[in-house]
Amino acid sequence: MSFDRSIKIAPSILSADFANFGQEIQAIEAQGADWVHIDVMDGHFVPNLTFGPMAVKAFRPHVKTVMDVHLMIAPVDPYIDAYADAGADVLTAHIEAGPHIHRTLQAIRAAGMKAGVALNPGTPAEAVAHLLDLTDLICVMTVNPGFGGQKFIDMTSKIRSLHSMIGDRPVHIEIDGGVDPSTAPLVAEAGADVLVAGSAVFKGGSVNDPDVYGANIRNIRDAANGVWA
Ligand code: DX5
Ligand code: ZN
């Protein structure tokens, strides 16, 4: 199967109802989510705390698409096997989270997952120059990680650099933070294919009113694809 570079919308359940993850995941998938993005925070690498491998394992049976786990934790390596056991399809580690990202990416693949590397806004594209053949996804943070609902930071020149560095390698470019119908076209045009969105997907909806999720997802996708309603 050829590598899929079409736009994929990955709602972040950081903006879901924390007392109702199973139904929230089912609702966003039924409403057109391509992937499900799960933000793991440790209160140390980032100033916020979410959930760990036991919770992620409990989410797994509800995710029928792709379980995309974004680790905002340090260190990463001691937890790789736990996230493989939890059923992550993609496991993304921050390049800033430790001195041995090369080893970390190898270990993620060796554990049977796709390996992602995330870059904080202050980290240049060149930081991944020697990692391109070890990674399946590069996550460009367009906010400083830790919280949903923050203002988009323009990283389009970094996205363009990464897109040309990647060439024809099968590596996704994912954008995380502040993605909504106004910012999606900028990042899509620069070369991104996976758009994470938390607040812009969940705002105004609920599991009892899931059509709102569907409209929100559609609006982001249409904007990214250049279809202006
Ligand atoms: C930020 C997280 C994001 C976040 C995005 O630390 O990695 O995935 O949930 O949220 P929004 O789309 O609300 O900026
Ligand atoms: Zn994230």
**For residue 131, what pLDDT is reported?**
98
Ligand nearest to the CA of 68: 2
CA-to-CA dists, residue 115 to 32, 38, 107, 118, 183, angstroms? 24, 15, 9, 10, 26
**Which pLDDT band holds residue 223 (cuts at 50, 70, 90)?**
very high
Surface-to-core class of residue 33, CB atoms within 10 Å of its CB (0-12 exposed, 13-18 middle, 19+ buried): buried
H/E element holding 164? helix 156-166
Residue nearest atom 1 of ligand 1, based on CA coordinates: 145
The CA 145 to ligand 2 mean position distance, Å, reads 7
Residue 45 to residue 59: CA distance in whole angstroms? 23
What are the tens digits of pLDDT across the range 56-111?
A: 999 999 999 999 999 999 999 999 999 999 999 999 999 999 999 999 999 999 99
Q: Residue 147: which region, alpha, beta or left (left: phi > 0; alpha: psi -120 to 50)?
A: beta
- 213 has a pLDDT exceeding 90: yes
222 catalytic residue (yes or no): no
What spacing in Å lies between the alpha carbon of 194 and ligand 1's midpoint?
13
The neighbour count for residue 11, using CB atoms within 10 Å, is 30
More confident residue, 50 or 227: 50
CA distances from 12 to 7, 129, 133, 201 (A): 16, 28, 27, 8
The neighbour count for residue 196, using CB atoms within 10 Å, is 27
Element (H, E) at 216: helix 211-224
What is the per-residue pLDDT across 152-203, written as a single tens digit (0 to 9) for each? 999 999 999 999 999 999 999 999 999 999 999 999 999 999 999 999 999 9
**Tell me: the pLDDT tens digits for 23-58?**
999 999 999 999 999 999 999 999 999 999 999 999
pTM of the model as a whole: 0.98
Flag whether pLDDT at 1 surpasses 80.
no
| pLDDT at residue 228, as a whole number | 54
Residue 2's pLDDT is 80
Taking 3-state DSSP, the helix, strand and coil percentages for the chain, each rounded to the nearest 5, stand at 40, 20, 40
Q: Please list, in sequence order, all residues whose beta carbon lies within 8 angstroms of the beta carbon of residue 16, skipping any fewer than 6 positions away.
A: 24, 25, 28, 202
pLDDT band at 211 (very low <50, low <70, confident <90, very high): very high
Encoded tokens for 45: 């690498």
- Protein residues placing their CB within 5 Å of the ion ligand 2: 39, 70, 176
Q: Is residue 68 among the annotated active site residues?
A: no
Taking only Cα atoms into account, the Rg of the chain, rounded to an integer number of angstroms, comes to 16
